[in-house]
Amino acid sequence: MSRSIALGLVAVLVLSASAAEPDKLPKPQFNGPYFGKMPRAWVEILKVDAERRMLTVRTKKGDEVEVPIRGDTELRVRDSWGDLTDYYPGESVMLFVYHDADGKWSYPRAVQDEIQMMSGHKWWWTVDTLDATAGTLELSRKENGKEFKESFRVGSDTKVWKGDKSAGIDTLKVGDVVLFQTRYTKGEAKRFAVELLDAKGLEAIKTMQQGKHRDRLTANGLPAIVNDIEMLTGALTVTVQWEASDVARGIKPGVNVNVVGAEKSGIRFAAPVAESKGDGARHKLLLAADPAAISRLKVGDEIRVSPPKMP
């Protein structure tokens, strides 16, 4: 074979290899167009079914919809994390919903109460008028040159937070800057203001909710999902959900954790942590488990992981 022919073959092989490999390998990343099309809907909660992990809600159009709550749904309550049992019928909440190719609702990325939603966007409202006797309240706020107004009913059940303890509606004054949480009442055109809180009140109820959530994690374990199972080695990879990722970050390799499967599954075992690392907003653990203990688990199962001592 001549030298020129050999060089030609090398060039062909190099070109073929280059053509087979894309210039840039695909990489999962934030999908802006999909996120931009995600439905955002203010809804009224009609029913909370914690056992079925389901919310029944009424949309602004008057449609009643059952909304399934999955393990990766963010349940946000009072500027912190929450549980389905923290929500109640009549409550006004915001849904951020994953959708399918036809634009139909799949399940919520997040359920946020009004306090959480407004705190995150810094939507603070000024009390314009208050008539405690008539039970009326008017609020306003400005954003980007636009003025927004709200009008609610208030009464003896309205809680006003200006510190670590709530008080009555008589402690609210014109000019106060507040956030609110409201509920719908059948037959009433205006929502009822359940809670009104200033900046100090927000910090107080946020701290309370954080403590409540941490107590649940201590009692029940950290919610996680099974990502991968290798039976012969006992390698079990799980991802701890965002609501408990701050706790999971404190779990160090070498410690033993307790794992509990779904209720009535009977799955319960302990295993040492081989690897602990961040996974975006969540946290991933690799466990070195006994194969017999994980034989009934499958990818996608929801489990609870408890370290011997909460970090």
For every one of its 311 residues, what pLDDT tens digit does the chain have, with 9 covering 90 and above? 555 554 455 555 455 555 556 678 998 888 999 999 999 999 999 999 999 999 999 999 999 999 999 989 999 999 999 999 999 999 999 999 999 999 999 999 999 999 999 999 999 999 999 999 999 999 999 999 999 999 999 999 999 999 999 999 999 999 999 999 999 999 999 999 999 999 999 999 999 999 999 999 999 999 999 999 999 999 999 999 999 999 999 999 999 999 999 888 899 999 999 999 998 889 999 999 999 999 999 999 999 999 987 66
3-state secondary structure of 248: helix
The domain segmentation of the chain, as residue ranges, is 32-118, 124-217, 221-306
3-state secondary structure 34-57: HHHHCCEEEEEEEEEECCCCEEEE
What's the CA gap between 265 and 271, in Å, rounded?
A: 18
- Taking each helix axis from N to C end, the angle separating 199-220 and 114-121, rounded to the nearest 10 degrees, works out to 120
Predicted pLDDT at 24: 86
CATH fold label, 124-217? OB fold (Dihydrolipoamide Acetyltransferase, E2P) (2.40.50)
Sign of CA dihedral 191, 195, 200, 202: negative
pLDDT tens string 237-279? 999 999 999 999 999 999 999 999 988 889 999 999 999 999 8
CATH fold label, 32-118? OB fold (Dihydrolipoamide Acetyltransferase, E2P) (2.40.50)
Closest CA to 47 of 32, 61, 58, 62: 58
- Locate 30 and state its tokens: 């934030």
Give the predicted TM-score (pTM) of the model.
Answer: 0.86
Please name every residue paired with 197 in a beta bridge, in sequence order, or none if there are none.
161, 179
Name the DSSP class of 164.
S
Equal CATH topology for 32-118 and 221-306: no
What's the CA gap between 73 and 75, in Å, rounded?
A: 6
Predicted pLDDT at 225: 96
CATH number for the domain formed by residue range(s) 221-306: 2.40.30.170
Which strands sit side by side in the sheet containing 80-81, from one edge to the other? 64-68, 54-58, 40-49, 92-99, 105-113, 74-77, 80-81
Predicted pLDDT at 22: 65
